[in-house]
Copies of this chain bind each other. A is one copy, B any other.
Amino acid sequence: MAIYQDVARALETEIREKLHSGDYLPSEIQLAQRFAINRHTVRRAIDELVQAGMVLRQQGKGTLVLEHSLQYRIGARGRFSESVEAMGHHSESRITGRGLLRADDALARKMWVQPGTEVFQIDTLRCIDGKPVTLISHYLPTEHCPGLDQHYQGGSLHELLEARYGFQLTRRQGLISAGMPSRQESLLLRYPRNMPLLKICSNNLCTRTGALVEYSVSRSRADCFEYKIEPRQNLTPEGEPSS
Q: A186 at the A/B interface (Cβ < 8 Å)?
A: no
| A171 CB contacts on chain B under 8 angstroms | 229, 231
Q: A196 at the A/B interface (Cβ < 8 Å)?
A: yes
**Minimum distance in angstroms from A1 CB to a CB of chain B:** 13
Q: Is chain A's interface secondary structure helix, strand, loop, or mixed overall?
A: strand
Closest to A232 in B: B232
* 9 A-B residue pairings within 8 Å (CB atoms): A74-B180, A173-B228, A175-B226, A176-B226, A176-B227, A178-B196, A180-B194, A196-B196, A200-B229
Q: A174 at the A/B interface (Cβ < 8 Å)?
A: yes
Q: How far is the CA of A232 from the CA of B177 in the complex (A)?
A: 20
Q: Given contacts A178-B178, A198-B178, is CB(A170)–CB(B231) below 8 Å?
A: yes
Q: A84 at the A/B interface (Cβ < 8 Å)?
A: yes
Q: How far is the CA of A194 from the CA of B194 in the complex (A)?
A: 7
Q: Given contacts A194-B194, A222-B196, is CB(A229)–CB(B177) below 8 Å?
A: no
Q: A145 at the A/B interface (Cβ < 8 Å)?
A: no
Assess whether B227 is in contact with A175, with CB atoms less than 8 Å apart. Answer: yes
Assess whether B232 is in contact with A175, with CB atoms less than 8 Å apart. Answer: no
| A168 CB contacts on chain B under 8 angstroms | none
16 additional contacts, CB 8 Å, given A173-B229, A173-B230, A180-B195? Answer: A75-B179, A171-B231, A174-B229, A175-B228, A176-B229, A177-B198, A178-B178, A178-B196, A178-B197, A178-B198, A179-B196, A180-B196, A196-B196, A196-B197, A196-B222, A232-B232
The digit string for A190-219, where 1 denotes a CB below 8 A from any CB of B, is: 000011111010000000000000000000
Interface residues of A in 104-141 (CB under 8 A from B): none
The digit string for A78-107, where 1 denotes a CB below 8 A from any CB of B, is: 000100100000000000000000000000
Assess whether A198 is in contact with B176, with CB atoms less than 8 Å apart. Answer: yes
Q: How far is the CA of A229 from the CA of B176 in the complex (A)?
A: 8
Q: A172 at the A/B interface (Cβ < 8 Å)?
A: yes
Q: How far is the CA of A75 from the CA of B110 in the complex (A)?
A: 13
| A226 CB contacts on chain B under 8 angstroms | 175-177
Assess whether B231 is in contact with A172, with CB atoms less than 8 Å apart. Answer: yes
Assess whether B198 is in contact with A84, with CB atoms less than 8 Å apart. Answer: no
Q: How far is the CA of A232 from the CA of B170 in the complex (A)?
A: 11
3 closest cross-chain pairs (CB), A and B: A196-B196, A174-B229, A178-B222
